[in-house]
Amino acid sequence: MKEAGLQGLEAVLAIARRGSFRAAALELGMSTTALSHTIARLEATLGVRLFNRTTRSVALSDAGRGFVERIAPALAEIRAAMDMARSRSDRPSGLLRINASALGGREIAPLVLAFLRRYPDMQVDLVTEGRLVDIVAQGFDLGIRPADLVPRDMIALPLGKPQRHAVVVAPGWLATRPAPLTPVDLPVQDCIRIRLPNGALLRWPFERGGEQLQIDPRGRLTLDEAAIARAAVLDGAGIGFFLEQDVAEDLAAGRLIRLLEDWTPPRPGFSLYYPGRRNPSAGFAAFLAMAREAAERQASRGRKPGAAVAT
């Protein structure tokens, strides 16, 4: 039963999570061919097919679903036991897996690099993706998302400076149209629509002096990537709604003009979040300690986390 070892079981769960051999192989740091061989050996040992595979899709078989339901809690217990054993060590070592949005990944990257310099026996796998995932089910130790997106059952640690939205447009667009003075003045047919990771369309939020409004964009263009939306606005395709840092350089250079700035007050920044743990590993505890140091530094000096973390 050597083929049914921990690596093989982790491989099954990774494929079940990702729905793809390629994505699972990337997560596990192995080749797709090696992963396929691992699963084939395990299936041969068990005498059942765990996955139904076609050229376009991978899905758990009935036997595979039952297998995953049984092994997932057991592997969670094994990971907890390993964490408990590592917690007895004074020297942080092992792997931390962190899930973040692309912007959250950029926010935490300086802290991650400082952490790796301080603890040479640690490894960090930082995965960035648009969709909001269940970090426990997906096998992550920590997540990074805007504070208002953190699940309520998680412990959250604020990180980074407050965020602001920015409504922007190309100078050429304003040359032939009046600038809106309030959100209700926005020509919604010229506002680029934003698709969120969960598939919903963003209603643009505005606030001033306690008054709150939400606007439904009705533009012909719908996008889910800030870089593409920025390029579209620069090309004169319409009005865009961004996080301020995504268009800060364009605003400073005059390539874009900001609208309704008094209607976009600062919002909570990013939070590092994680489930409660009885016996956190030494590496997990060390990373949290550095994150708290960075958060305290940010709060007291108004500086970005990780910008001056001691190494």
Domain with residue 33: its CATH number is: 1.10.10.10
Distance (Å, whole) CA 66 – CA 52: 14
Residue count of the chain, please give it.
311
Q: What CATH number is attached to the domain comprising 207?
A: 3.40.190.290
What was the pLDDT predicted at 1? 42
- Same-domain check for residues 146 and 274: yes
Q: What are phi and psi of 131, to 5 degrees?
A: -75, 150
- Same-domain check for residues 118 and 55: no
Q: Of 41, 58, 86, at which residue does a domain stop?
A: 86
- Same-domain check for residues 67 and 200: no
Beta bridge partners of 14: none
CA dihedral 115, 116, 120, 121 (to 10 degrees): 90
Residue 306 lies in a domain: no
Residue 23 reports pLDDT greater than 60 = yes
- Same-domain check for residues 134 and 199: no
Tell me what the pLDDT averaged over the chain comes to: 86
Task: Answer yes or no: are the C-beta atoms of 242 and 165 closer than 8 Å.
Answer: yes
Residue 173 lies in a domain: yes
Q: What pLDDT, in 10s, does the model give residues 170-223? A: 999 988 889 999 999 999 999 999 988 777 899 999 999 889 999 999 999 999
Longest dimension (CA), the chain: 73
Q: Residue 122: give the domain boundaries.
A: 92-162+268-301
User: Residue 140 CB: number of other CB atoms within 10 A?
Assistant: 20
Residue 307 lies in a domain: no
pLDDT band at 163 (very low <50, low <70, confident <90, very high): confident
